[in-house]
């Protein structure tokens, strides 16, 4: 009640006459968001909003200010009477990205700002690289390139997205109650060259992030305008080719529009060609009126088809039945498509208030053929399954945001939001099939309707060197499932409410040093089929998490971060989409340590690295039988980037995933790997020539691994052992880009 009372009092407060107000743009008059304005003399700071506007609370005469943003020259000012008497207008000049452009201030999610340097100096080169830009997040592909990647973060085998909330320009990517797995997040509809920024946060500390935000969230922001039009052609081993085009349609003061497209073909390194093809197209239009209100329309379409070799048993390779890139059932594969329309609207209100609205609709289709157990259940026809669905998604979110509400030398920012998401899934099915041609048995078939309505309040009270961030979120879910395999009409419905409080404290004891204590409750929803099968029990298993961390820049060109954390996840029931059954998973606990370093050694040379250690266990099992299968224990990633060295740029990077338990008693081990990638580019006028090498040292590594019980044809008894998808061998590609 105390914070609500303070909020009501301050909502009516006007900006103090001694505050410094202003607007920051680039030299083309485009408003710059998230520019940092830092008072070196007092330690106070603020940021520009979506319109480039800011209010800096009560600077004193002769205070020194620094204005900074990645990719722009840092601007310095000294406060005088003339400066306070007017609305300041600053134009920042573009410059090569450098770590010294990052000024650490008391922010709830500073690490994401620091890591943004990685993306600017080493842009994403493929859809598989997008999530790897998040420190500590690893992915694995095990079905021919068209299936969403398996995700690992903070001791979670997230499957395809169950515990990481992923969005693009505010539109959620995760699929609730998906035919293959809860939270399934397929990012292949994103064209890498259109990515402007990758915002992320670990833990359940963010009120505007709801379902699936337990281990963390990832929010991609796509470019509103292009610096230039371009065409890229890429070709390489394994019959790989990629054609990309980005075209400026309008680039005016108040209007911008561009079109982007991608065609990607490859057979992959497998003995049976993947025959993979993917087509993407995206159009984006932005209009800004004289009041700096903004509306952005984005429309995109994506579709892909592929064949796959699936996970293969180690014994088949050891016995020489197949090679590392062979297959037991090479008729696996699938096809999928997604069409999106996304609207973002920003309306400026009085007293520095902003109303942000996001609305979206998506049409999604999915068809996947898999064979995980070969001839275990059907020794004649094999165990191939088909998972299929036809989905429509609609959603809306409106957020009122008020910044710079001042009271003396302190200030209050707050956000209040409401919204909903509705999924209508028709003919969600699981079938036993033969050679992707014949349906042998219908195992499950039904329609899902799922509604999530929500509201949240996020406040940030800034006083002195502290930020106090109390927040709360309320979610309502309604689940409906219509079972089409019963003779009688069978439609079941359940509902549930989740209450998710958060409280974060940020302390800046000195310039460029931040300490944080974060606490929060998050959740992920269970599959609708789980909900109705269990009478509504454990619909929204909660995650309780705590982070204690620090970020420091001992010198301008060096940033260090360290965090210790813990997370407890409630009992839940999991729908196993591959078998059509419900299994309890039990309560779990995870504890970990994360460290990272970034160093701008020279103007053209940037070094970075992260390491993560996690202890993950089930709390309801006996010692020695409490391992969480495939939970990462140790991960590390890093490398070096070269930028603007006499026309050359490039990077050398590694990723290291340690050995981990593949089953509950650790009797089967999933082997770790260390893989190194390399790329180099040379730019001459409007042309850029590039070489990309994945797995530079041709390491034999397993990208995904599972402890699975299977039976091969004519085997007398099943065997449980490691089944794996081999990682890409040495993989060379060349690329030519022309900008105009």
Summarised one tens digit per residue, pLDDT across range 377-390 is 999 999 999 999 99
Per-residue pLDDT, 575: 67
Backbone torsion region of residue 215, taken as left when φ is above 0, otherwise alpha when ψ lies between -120 and 50, otherwise beta: alpha
On the question of pLDDT at 8 being above 60, the answer is: no
Identify the band that residue 577 occupies on the pLDDT scale cut at 50, 70 and 90. low
- In this structure, which long-range contacts are made by residues 672-678, counting pairs with CB atoms below 8 Å and at least 24 apart in sequence? 672/634, 673/699, 673/701, 673/702, 673/727, 674/699, 674/701, 675/699, 675/701, 675/727, 676/652, 677/651, 677/652, 677/653, 678/650, 678/651, 678/652, 678/653
Mean predicted lDDT score pLDDT of the chain: 91
User: Where residue 6 falls among pLDDT bands split at 50, 70, 90?
Assistant: very low
Q: Per-residue confidence at 17, pLDDT binned at 50, 70, 90?
A: very low
Q: What average pLDDT score do residues 528-532 get?
A: 89
Asked which of 54-63, 168-177, 230-239, 355-364 is least confident by mean pLDDT, the reply is 54-63
What is the percent of the chain where pLDDT is above 90? Answer: 71
- Judge whether 490 and 517 are in contact, CB under 8 Å: no
SS3 labels along 85-136: CCCEEEEECECCCCHHHCCCCCCCCHHHHHHHHHHHHCCCCCHHHCHHHCCC
Identify the residue with better confidence: 384 or 55.
384
Exposed, middle or buried, 382 (CB in 10 Å: 0-12/13-18/19+)? buried
Measured distance CA(74)–CA(55) in Å, rounded: 18
What is d(CA 33, CA 169) in angstroms, rounded to the nearest whole number?
A: 15
Which residues neighbour 8 within 8 Å (Cβ) at sequence distance 6 or greater?
A: none
User: Whole-angstrom Cα distance, residue 67 to residue 47?
Assistant: 9
For 420, residues 6+ apart whose C-beta sits below 8 A from its C-beta are 395, 396, 451, 452, 453, 454
Nearest to 494 by CA among 542, 543, 450, 446: 450
Compute the average pLDDT of residues 461-485.
94
Q: What are phi and psi of 445, to 5 degrees?
A: -155, 125
The phi and psi torsions of 697 (rounded to 5 degrees) equal: -100, 15
How far apart CA 521 and CA 545 sit, in angstroms, is: 6
Q: What is the pTM of this model?
A: 0.93
How many Cβ atoms sit within 10 Å of the Cβ of residue 161?
27
Rg (CA), the chain: 26
Residues in Cβ contact with 279 at an 8 Å cutoff, skipping those fewer than 6 apart:
261, 262, 263, 264, 301, 302, 303, 304
Q: Is the dihedral of CA 83, 89, 91, 97 positive or negative?
A: positive
The strand ranges marked E within 314-409 are 332-348, 353-370, 385-407
What is the pLDDT averaged over residues 36-51?
79
pLDDT band at 465 (very low <50, low <70, confident <90, very high): confident
Q: How far apart are CA 288 and CA 294, in angstroms?
A: 4
Please tell me the distance from the alpha carbon of residue 655 to that of residue 636, in angstroms, as a whole number: 6
What's the rounded Cα separation, in Å, for the pair 106 and 34? 14
> Nearest-CA neighbor of 32 among 72, 86, 77, 59?
72
Helix (H, G, I), strand (E, B) or coil at 194: helix
Q: Check residue 694 and give its pLDDT.
A: 97
Give the DSSP per-residue string, 246-310. Answer: EEEEEE-SSEEEEEEEEEEEE--SSSS---EEEEEEEEEEEEE-TT--EEEEEEEEEEEEEEE--
pLDDT (average), residues 601-613:
96
pLDDT exceeds cutoff 80 at 12: no
- Give start-end residues of each CATH 2.40.170.20 domain in the chain: 113-739
- Cα–Cα nearest to 357, from 316, 401, 392, 398: 398
pLDDT of 14 > 60? The answer is no
User: Residue 2 above 70 pLDDT?
Assistant: no
- Per-residue model confidence (pLDDT) at position 5: 38
The pLDDT value recorded for residue 476 is 98
Using CA atoms, how far apart are residues 64 and 77, in angstroms rounded to an integer? 6
Q: What does the alpha-carbon distance between residue 418 and residue 400 come to, in Å, rounded to a whole number? A: 9
pLDDT of 40 = 79
Residues belonging to the chain: 740
Mean pLDDT, residues 448-463: 95
Give start-end residues of each CATH 2.60.40.1120 domain in the chain: 20-95
Tell me the pLDDT band of 1, cut-offs 50, 70 and 90: very low
- Indicate the fold that domain 20-95 takes in CATH: Immunoglobulin-like (2.60.40)
Q: Give the per-residue pLDDT at 86.
A: 80
Displacement of CA 25 from its chain's centroid (Å)? 28
pLDDT (0 to 100) of residue 3: 44
Query: Three-class SS of residue 6?
Result: helix
Q: Which DSSP string corresponds to 556-603?
A: TTEEEEEEEEEEEE---EEEETTTTEEEE---EEEEEEEEEEEEEEET
Segment 25-47 mean pLDDT? 81
pLDDT > 70 in the chain, percent: 97
Positive or negative torsion for Cα 320, 144, 372, 663: positive
Give the number of C-alpha atoms closer than 13 A to the C-alpha of residue 700, restricted to the C-beta side.
3
Asked whether the predicted pLDDT for residue 591 surpasses 60, the reply is yes
Mean pLDDT of all residues in 692-720 = 95
pLDDT digit string, tens, across residues 71-99:
888 888 888 887 877 888 888 988 888 88
More confident site: 714 or 170:
170
Look at residue 428 and give its three-state secondary structure: strand
121-139 per-position pLDDT tens digit: 888 888 778 899 999 999 9
Strand partners, 353: 402
Q: How far is residue 710's CA from residue 312's CA, in Å, rounded to a whole number?
A: 10
Question: Of 17, 74, 72, 22, which Cα lies nearest the Cα of 51?
Answer: 22
Distance from C-alpha of 437 to C-alpha of 383, rounded to nearest angstrom:
14
β 353-370/581-584 pair status: unpaired
At which residue do the structure tokens 């879910």 appear? 477
- CA–CA dist 430, 443 (Å, integer): 5
CA dist 332 and 619 (Å) reads 37
Query: What digits encode the pLDDT tens for the residues 230-278?
Result: 999 999 999 999 999 999 999 888 899 999 999 999 999 999 999 999 9
Structure tokens, 162: 């169950």
Helix (H, G, I), strand (E, B) or coil at 191: coil
Distant-in-sequence, close-in-space partners of 388: CB < 8 Å, separation ≥ 6: 179, 366, 367, 368, 427, 428, 429, 431
Residue range 113-739, CATH number: 2.40.170.20
Asked if residues 537 and 571 have their Cβ atoms less than 8 Å apart, the reply is no
The Cα angle at residue 582 between residues 581 and 584, in degrees rounded to 5:
145
Tens digits of residue pLDDT in 397-419: 999 999 878 777 788 899 999 99
Q: What is the mean pLDDT of residues 493-512?
A: 93
């Amino acid at each position: 009640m105390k914070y609500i009372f303070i909020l009501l009092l301050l909502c009516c407060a006007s900006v103090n006459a001694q505050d410094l107000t202003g607007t920051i743009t680039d030299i083309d008059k485009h408003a710059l968001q998230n520019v940092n304005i830092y008072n070196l003399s007092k330690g106070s700071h603020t940021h520009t909003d979506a319109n480039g506007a800011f209010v800096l609370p009560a600077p004193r005469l002769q205070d020194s200010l620094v204005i900074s943003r990645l990719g722009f020259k840092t601007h310095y000012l000294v406060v005088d009477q003339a400066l306070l008497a007017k609305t300041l207008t600053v134009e920042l000049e573009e410059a090569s990205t450098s770590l010294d452009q990052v000024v650490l201030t008391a922010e709830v999610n500073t690490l994401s700002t620091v890591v943004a340097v990685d993306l600017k100096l080493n842009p994403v080169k493929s859809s598989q690289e997008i999530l790897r830009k998040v420190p500590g997040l690893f992915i694995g592909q095990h079905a021919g390139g068209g299936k969403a990647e398996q995700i690992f973060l903070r001791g979670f085998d997230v499957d395809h997205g169950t515990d990481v909330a992923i969005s693009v320009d505010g539109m959620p990517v995760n699929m609730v109650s998906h035919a293959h797995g809860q939270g399934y997040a397929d990012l292949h509809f994103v064209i890498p060259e259109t990515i402007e920024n990758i915002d992320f946060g670990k833990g359940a500390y963010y009120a505007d992030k709801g379902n699936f935000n337990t281990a963390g969230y990832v929010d991609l922001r796509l470019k509103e305008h292009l610096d230039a039009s371009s065409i890229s052609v890429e070709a390489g081993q394994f019959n790989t080719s990629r054609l990309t085009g980005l075209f400026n349609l309008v680039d005016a003061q108040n209007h911008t529009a561009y079109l982007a497209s991608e065609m990607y073909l490859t057979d992959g390194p497998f003995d049976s060609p993947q025959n993979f093809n993917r087509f993407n197209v995206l159009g984006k239009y932005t209009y800004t009126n004289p009041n700096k209100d903004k509306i952005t329309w984005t429309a995109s379409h994506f579709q892909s088809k592929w064949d796959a070799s699936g996970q293969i048993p180690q014994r088949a390779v050891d016995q020489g039945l197949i090679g590392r890139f062979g297959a037991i059932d090479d008729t696996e594969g699938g096809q999928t498509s997604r069409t999106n329309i996304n609207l973002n609207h920003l309306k400026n209100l009085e007293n520095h208030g902003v109303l942000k609205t996001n609305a979206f609709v998506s049409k999604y289709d999915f068809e996947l053929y898999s064979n995980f157990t070969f001839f275990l259940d059907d020794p004649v026809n094999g165990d191939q399954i088909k998972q299929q669905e036809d989905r429509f998604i609609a959603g809306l979110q409106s957020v009122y945001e008020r910044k710079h509400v001042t009271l003396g030398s302190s200030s209050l920012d707050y956000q209040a939001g409401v919204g909903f998401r509705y999924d209508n899934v028709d003919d969600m099915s699981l079938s036993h099939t033969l050679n992707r041609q014949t349906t042998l048995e219908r195992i499950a078939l039904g329609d899902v309707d799922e509604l999530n309505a929500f509201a949240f309040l996020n406040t940030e009270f800034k006083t002195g060197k502290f930020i106090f961030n109390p927040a709360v979120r309320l979610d309502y879910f309604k689940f409906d499932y219509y079972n089409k395999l019963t003779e009688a009409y069978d439609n079941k419905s359940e509902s549930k409410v989740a209450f998710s409080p958060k409280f974060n404290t940020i302390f800046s004891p000195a310039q460029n040093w931040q300490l944080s204590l974060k606490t929060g409750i998050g959740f992920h929803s269970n599959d609708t089929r789980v909900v109705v099968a269990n009478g509504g029990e454990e619909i929204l298993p909660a995650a309780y998490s705590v982070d204690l961390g620090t970020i420091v820049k001992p010198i301008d060109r060096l940033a260090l971060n360290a965090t210790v954390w813990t997370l407890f996840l409630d009992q839940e029931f999991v729908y196993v989409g591959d078998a059509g059954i419900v299994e309890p998973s039990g309560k779990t606990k995870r504890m970990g340590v994360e460290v990272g370093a970034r160093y701008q050694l020279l103007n053209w040379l940037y070094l970075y690295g992260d390491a993560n250690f996690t202890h993950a266990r089930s709390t309801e099992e006996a010692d020695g039988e409490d391992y969480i299968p495939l939970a990462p224990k140790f991960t590390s990633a890093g490398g070096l980037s070269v930028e603007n060295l006499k026309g050359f740029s490039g990077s050398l990077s590694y990723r290291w995933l340690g050995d981990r338990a593949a089953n509950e008693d650790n009797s089967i081990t999933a082997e770790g790997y260390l893989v190194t990638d390399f790329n180099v580019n040379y730019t001459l006028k409007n042309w850029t020539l590039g070489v990309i090498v994945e797995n530079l040292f041709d390491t034999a590594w397993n990208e995904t691994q599972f402890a699975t019980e299977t039976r091969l044809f004519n085997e007398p008894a099943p065997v449980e052992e490691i089944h794996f998808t081999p990682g890409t061998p040495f993989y060379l590609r060349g690329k030519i880009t022309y900008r105009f």
